[in-house]
Structure 1
């Protein structure tokens, strides 16, 4: 006699409510949701309060609609769907240049690393300071900052101090702005984030996307690194994003 999988009923019920709200073009009342899911009204209210608290639903005067967390899931899912196309590009870049490869994106108001491809001979950088707090000291951070408009860059820098991470870190906003305006395609940092480590980055250009592809390597190899390999990888990643926009 086969035994079916163990399922958690409360999770199933919550998901059914979420599906019902998502399938409606208008806000849905708790009573309508309870009838459709064949649930007691009290149980429905408990589940709805939880979904609202977690951001998956919003309560309006005339019923419930999908919350911001659902939009975040959609964004993450679209990125996950792209990773099978992007990761081979980063892997090829790692092998061609001999350094760890990174994809970073500007999402909401934050700079995030969304994928890293490294290896035994090409270790990734020890991110001992968070990416958000160190954009001014990394090549991919500077690359993304350069793609923001003046107001966006001003707002970002106003909310994030230019921390002094190494003797080479830029901590003067005017100097940083000058550096950002000088570079058009390939950005670098040489021991600005971590002594002994350098990084090169170039923008990802696609509708609705602000990002960068980067490589890290020992600082003594920075001068010999070929930026064209990085640019080719960025162009391929940009095309992958553009095809899904």
Structure 2
């Protein structure tokens, strides 16, 4: 299955953050901002934002002398022992922060072996998760998550998926024509969030942005009660701007 990847803003941020981390890791005694800037070629403003994110995520620490060293989170992920557990915990902390910053339930989803899988999410009393009344594996045509993942496949990959999963009408807004859906997926710019406006469930709106690490297809999504629909696009933009830590964790 071929993929249709186009680098997004979070992808570029994650790549720059990796360069910073590699530089810090090569200096066990610590390296200054000036040293990092010289070795990575990143502008001061860009570097300041990346270092703030890396400190927040626990990937770097700053000593009393101002120099940066690797942090505990990087050590945990760098260890072969219990790596999967460490990654899951790191992603959960990031998702919890994202949930609080966007004021919505947030989800990580992957396309694995031809199926949509929601692998982790963060919700709460004020940010309820979507009620999965129809299995997400069988409703990709109706969800922001599914459409984002399908949008990252090539045309044949999309057709293969739709051939295996009937496009059932879940609400009056659900697209049930494969021709219409394929046309919309083709026209969807990779940098613009995919929306679900009560196509999966009445009373819920969703948005998803791609998080592509290597050859894996993934997305980050959020859901809101329909009474908060006016916040959807702004929340989706915030989600997109803050997706880099998720990509970085998956790349390490």
Deviations 1:187-225 (A, max 9, x none): 010100000100010001110210110000012323323
Equivalent in the alignment of 1:239: 248
Equivalent in the alignment of 1:201: 208
State the Cα distance separating 1:80 from its structure 2 match. 3.8
CA contact (8 A) 1:198 1:217 kept: yes
Give the one of 125, 132, 139 matched to 1:134.
139
Equivalent in the alignment of 1:150: 155
Equivalent in the alignment of 1:189: 196
Aligned partner of residue 224 in structure 1, secondary structure: helix
Moved more, 112-121 or 230-239: 230-239
C-alpha distance in 1 between matches for 2:238 and 2:83: 26
C-alpha distance in 2 between matches for 1:223 and 1:121: 17
Equivalent in the alignment of 1:166: 171
C-alpha distance in 1 between matches for 2:212 and 2:94: 15
C-alpha distance in 1 between matches for 2:188 and 2:141: 14
With normalisation by structure 1, the TM-score equals 0.65
C-alpha distance in 1 between matches for 2:86 and 2:215: 17
Equivalent in the alignment of 1:218: 225
C-alpha distance in 1 between matches for 2:246 and 2:149: 15
Poorly superposed stretches of 4+, deviation over 4 Å: none
CA contact (8 A) 1:166 1:192 kept: yes
List aligned pairs for 1:48-197, cutoff 5 A: 79-184=84-189, 185=191, 186-197=193-204
Q: Which has the larger radius of gyration?
A: 1
Equivalent in the alignment of 2:23: none
State the Cα distance separating 1:78 from its structure 2 match. 5.7
Deviations 1:25-45 (A, max 9, x none): xxxxxxxxxxxxxxxxxxxxx
State the Cα distance separating 1:79 from its structure 2 match. 4.7
* Root mean square deviation of aligned Cα: 1.5
C-alpha distance in 2 between matches for 1:177 and 1:79: 35
CA contact (8 A) 1:89 1:233 kept: no
State the Cα distance separating 1:175 from its structure 2 match. 0.9
CA contact (8 A) 1:213 1:233 kept: no
C-alpha distance in 2 between matches for 1:124 and 1:175: 28
C-alpha distance in 1 between matches for 2:215 and 2:185: 21
State the Cα distance separating 1:115 from its structure 2 match. 0.6
Structure 2, unpaired ranges of 5+: 1-81
Q: Structure 1 pair 85/232, CA: closer, same or farther in 2 (3 Å)? A: farther
Q: Give the number of equivalent residue pairs.
A: 167
CA contact (8 A) 1:212 1:234 kept: no
